[in-house]
A = this chain, B = another copy of it.
Amino acid sequence: MTFETDNIAAMDGYVSGEQPNDPNTTKLNTNENPYPPTPEIGKVIAGFDVDRLRRYPPPDADGFRDTAAALHQIDRNNIIVTRGGDELLRLMITTFVDPGQPIGVTEPTYSLYPVLARIQNCPITSVPLQQDWKPPENFTRRLNDAGVKVTFLVNPHAPTGVLLDPSQIADIASELNGVLLLDEAYVDFIDPAKRYDSMPLIRDFDNIVILRTLSKGYSLAGLRFGYGVGAEQLILPMLRKTRDSYNIDWLSQDVATAALQEQSYAKDTWSKVRRERVKLAGDLTRLGFSVIPSETNFLLATVPLTLTAQALYLKLKKQGILVRYFEHQGLDDKLRITVGTQPQNSLLVAAIADQLP
């Protein structure tokens, strides 16, 4: 006999990319930043007084909130700190969507969203993207017609890397009846020449929450640290009611604050990733791949017709190179490849070239 609810018993859990223990793996499958986090973190950890762990941590992580507020020129009360972006995504559903009410996404999108919706027993309203991987004209109408309460929109888009500009997001928010969760997990890798800045949107709209994470831009996937930014009336119920109290430990608060303060270090890694992104996209194109222009730290590349994407994924894996293959309609002729360091990318390109006729 099972004690699970019928809903949980019938669902499948989220399947993340492979996380091998072998340090010799060339890991280009889960979009980690290929460069290490700022050395300042080493100092913070080395200087940490362990006796502080005896007491409960600052419940709202106000030290980090103040640092983030200064960075984004917003107020502390517009920020909630969460265990990675994942916790914020979950809280958006718990707080704003009753079981049975629909949640909106694009097709394709980050594969975690439907799993979180399912846990809350919420149906998904999925709107296919256009050929250019952008939402269609009738996107908001379809979501509103379905009665969608929360829409998850990742920008730059995963798994394509395609960017919407803030005016397009403003249009969506202004038309939506529900709340828009703008998932900016990869925002740090956008070309600065684009002058992308979505933060003013939280002042103009009372229905936008922006998700940020330190996992990619700050090379801290192992820390599990993210935050949400939005109008106070959206942030407050998550902060005061639905999140677990004391959700962020002392050490993480100190480490994350130091990482966010080291903007110039982080920006240097972003610029290196962009340089490598251009090079890798060029190399793949020369090998016959069709590569979607990306504003993230990954590339979605269509595999030349001489080979299936799945076969190439498996052959690379055999050589210790992991990339991401999605067994999903519209994606199963493509590979999602995290931009690595120059030596990693060269290794990958050489390994792919070996497989082509």
* Chain A interfacial positions (CB closer than 8 Å to B): 1-9, 11-14, 16, 19, 27, 30, 32-37, 39, 41-42, 45-46, 48, 50-59, 83-84, 86-87, 90, 94-99, 112, 119, 149, 178-179, 206-207, 215, 219-225, 233-234, 237, 240-242, 244-252, 255
Q: Contact: B42 with A45, CB < 8 Å?
A: no
Question: Once bound together, how far apart are the Cα atoms of A12 and B251, in whole Å?
Answer: 29
* A215 contact set on B, CB distance < 8 A: 56
Question: Once bound together, how far apart are the Cα atoms of A49 and B283, in whole Å?
Answer: 33
- Beyond the given pairs A3-B234, A223-B251, A224-B246, 19 more chain A to chain B contacts, judged by CB atoms under 8 angstroms and listed by A's residue number, are A3-B96, A3-B149, A3-B178, A5-B97, A7-B98, A8-B241, A9-B237, A13-B241, A13-B242, A36-B50, A36-B54, A45-B48, A53-B222, A53-B223, A56-B215, A84-B244, A87-B244, A224-B249, A225-B249
* A54 contact set on B, CB distance < 8 A: 32-37, 219-222
Q: Contact: B95 with A5, CB < 8 Å?
A: yes
Instruction: Tell me the nearest residue of chain B to A207, going by C-beta.
Output: B3
Q: Contact: A99 with B96, CB < 8 Å?
A: no
Determine how close the nearest CB of chain B comes to the CB of A100; give it in whole angstroms: 9
* A16 contact set on B, CB distance < 8 A: 56, 59, 245-246
Instruction: Tell me the nearest residue of chain B to A85, going by C-beta.
Output: B244
Instruction: Tell me the nearest residue of chain B to A17, going by C-beta.
Output: B56
Question: Once bound together, how far apart are the Cα atoms of A282 and B207, in whole Å?
Answer: 57
* A99 contact set on B, CB distance < 8 A: 99
Q: Contact: A2 with B233, CB < 8 Å?
A: yes
Question: Once bound together, how far apart are the Cα atoms of A107 and B335, in whole Å?
Answer: 56
Determine how close the nearest CB of chain B comes to the CB of A328; give it in whole angstroms: 18
By secondary structure, the A interface counts as loop
* A39 contact set on B, CB distance < 8 A: 50
* A59 contact set on B, CB distance < 8 A: 16, 19
Which of A42, A57, A98, A249 has the most chain B CB atoms closer than 10 A to its own CB?
A249
Return 7 A-B CB contacts under 8 Å, by A number.
A3-B178, A30-B56, A39-B50, A54-B219, A56-B221, A87-B244, A251-B255
Instruction: Tell me the nearest residue of chain B to A100, going by C-beta.
Output: B99
Instruction: Tell me the nearest residue of chain B to A249, going by C-beta.
Output: B224
Q: Contact: A42 with B50, CB < 8 Å?
A: yes
Q: Contact: A14 with B245, CB < 8 Å?
A: yes
* A33 contact set on B, CB distance < 8 A: 54
Determine how close the nearest CB of chain B comes to the CB of A123; give it in whole angstroms: 15
* A112 contact set on B, CB distance < 8 A: 245
Instruction: Tell me the nearest residue of chain B to A224, going by C-beta.
Output: B249
Question: Once bound together, how far apart are the Cα atoms of A54 and B30, in whole Å?
Answer: 11
Q: Contact: B222 with A248, CB < 8 Å?
A: no
Question: Once bound together, how far apart are the Cα atoms of A142 and B53, in whole Å?
Answer: 41
* A45 contact set on B, CB distance < 8 A: 45-46, 48, 50, 251
